[in-house]
């Protein structure tokens, strides 16, 4: 095995992503060394690289990874060389707080995160802690399902958090990497789906995936009110503040608004309408471990998978810029 591998990293806050060699480190206590098969690119990678401060620098990005175990460190008994590991944004949590003990470890205040507070997995090899790793079914191709580790998990978790039931209506704002998966999950749950985006090609893709209505952003409030008389739920999968406000206007009384896209921007919502119409507004971040298992079960048995384009690690900087401009349909995956 070589002593170095290529990685996609940011050397300092708000600097361009670069591809550089890094040393391959032998696993320490509670760690494993993984030879990566594939890693998806996520909008969170853009969000993290644009922060004013970073917990560690240089920071290796990437948290939608699948790979094979090459070696295990001291104290690791549940993993062995050859095992297939899946890596998500959640690297570890305290395991002791109320949130961890109730299956909500993704909200633990002491959590660590791949590609943020610990090095990510956009590299040929990665040495990683084991607490939150999961096992990936042998029958699926890594390049086809790597985005499920974050995009799929997040989209499914948001739909479940909405509490919507079969035959109810939902508007999905943003038909990118999360949105095109959310359409499939929503249809699988028996929901009636309206898709909203600024891109006509993305709206056409949403129609092909089962969206009953596909509406250009900026027109959804009037159109969906006319079509449905208001929707039971709206999920905002984009970091656009305008989308949040538009989604709110689409809701019927007692509707639910779920926010997923990450942004530091602020927005205004009418308190009077929220109170008098009984509107619920909540955030959704990843999902439960059961949600993640279900996402991979659906990929394996029902063919619910992301649209992916595979690339070499050298393409990451250019792909990040395309993703920043909203030019990617589906998900970009780096194949190792």
Residues 26-51 pLDDT 10s: 999 999 999 999 999 998 999 999 89
Residues of CATH 3.90.180.10 domain(s) within the chain?
Answer: 4-149+287-335
Q: Does pLDDT of 167 surpass 90?
A: yes
Look at residue 221 and tell me whether its pLDDT is greater than 80.
no
Task: Please check the confidence at residue 223 and state whether its pLDDT lies above 90.
Answer: no
- The string of DSSP codes covering 26-74 is PP-TTEEEEEEEEEE--HHHHHHHTSS--SSSSEE----EEEEEEEE-T
Identify the residue with better confidence: 165 or 327: 165
The answer to whether residue 138 scores a pLDDT higher than 70 is yes
Domain with CATH 3.40.50.720 in the chain: 152-283
Using 50, 70 and 90 to split pLDDT, how confident is the model at 329? Answer: confident
- CATH number of this structure's domain 152-283: 3.40.50.720
pLDDT given at position 120? 97
In this predicted structure, the answer to whether residue 313 has a pLDDT above a threshold of 80 is yes
- Alpha-carbon distance 219 to 241, whole Å? 15
Predicted pLDDT of residue 328: 81
CA distance 195 to 214: 5
Question: What is the mean pLDDT of the segment spanning 211-235?
Answer: 90
Q: So what's the pLDDT on residue 1?
A: 67
- Say which CATH topology domain 4-149+287-335 has: Quinone Oxidoreductase; Chain A, domain 1 (3.90.180)
């Amino acid at each position: 095995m070589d002593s170095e591998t290529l990685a996609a990293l940011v050397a300092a806050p708000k600097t361009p992503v670069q591809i550089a060699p890094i040393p391959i480190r032998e696993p320490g206590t509670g760690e494993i060394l993984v030879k990566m098969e594939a890693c998806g690119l996520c909008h969170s990678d853009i969000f993290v690289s644009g922060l004013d401060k970073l917990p560690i620098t240089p920071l290796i990005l990437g948290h939608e990874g699948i790979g094979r175990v090459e070696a295990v460190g001291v104290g690791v008994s549940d993993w062995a060389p050859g095992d297939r590991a899946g890596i998500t944004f959640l690297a570890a949590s305290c395991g002791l707080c109320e949130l961890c003990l109730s299956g909500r470890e993704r909200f633990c205040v002491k959590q660590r995160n791949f590609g943020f507070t610990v090095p990510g997995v956009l590299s040929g090899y990665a040495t990683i802690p084991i607490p939150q790793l999961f096992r990936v079914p042998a029958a699926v191709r890594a390049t086809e399902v790597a985005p499920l580790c974050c995009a799929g998990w997040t989209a499914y978790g948001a739909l479940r958090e909405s509490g919507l039931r079969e035959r109810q209506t939902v508007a999905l704002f943003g038909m990118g990497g999360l949105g095109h998966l959310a359409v499939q999950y929503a249809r699988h749950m028996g929901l009636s789906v309206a898709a909203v985006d600024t891109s006509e090609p993305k709206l056409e893709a949403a129609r092909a995936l089962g969206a009953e209505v596909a509406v250009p952003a900026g027109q959804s409030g009037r159109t969906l009110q006319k079509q449905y008389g208001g929707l039971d739920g709206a999920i905002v999968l984009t970091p656009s503040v305008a989308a949040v406000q538009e989604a709110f206007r689409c809701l019927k009384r007692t509707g639910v608004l779920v926010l997923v896209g990450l942004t530091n921007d602020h927005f205004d919502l009418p308190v009077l309408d929220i109170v008098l119409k009984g509107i619920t507004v909540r955030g959704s971040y990843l999902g439960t471990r059961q949600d993640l298992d279900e996402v991979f079960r659906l990929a394996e048995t029902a063919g619910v998978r992301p649209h992916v384009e595979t690339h070499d690690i050298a393409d990451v900087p250019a792909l990040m810029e395309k993703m920043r401009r909203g030019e990617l349909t589906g998900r970009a995956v780096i194949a190792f």
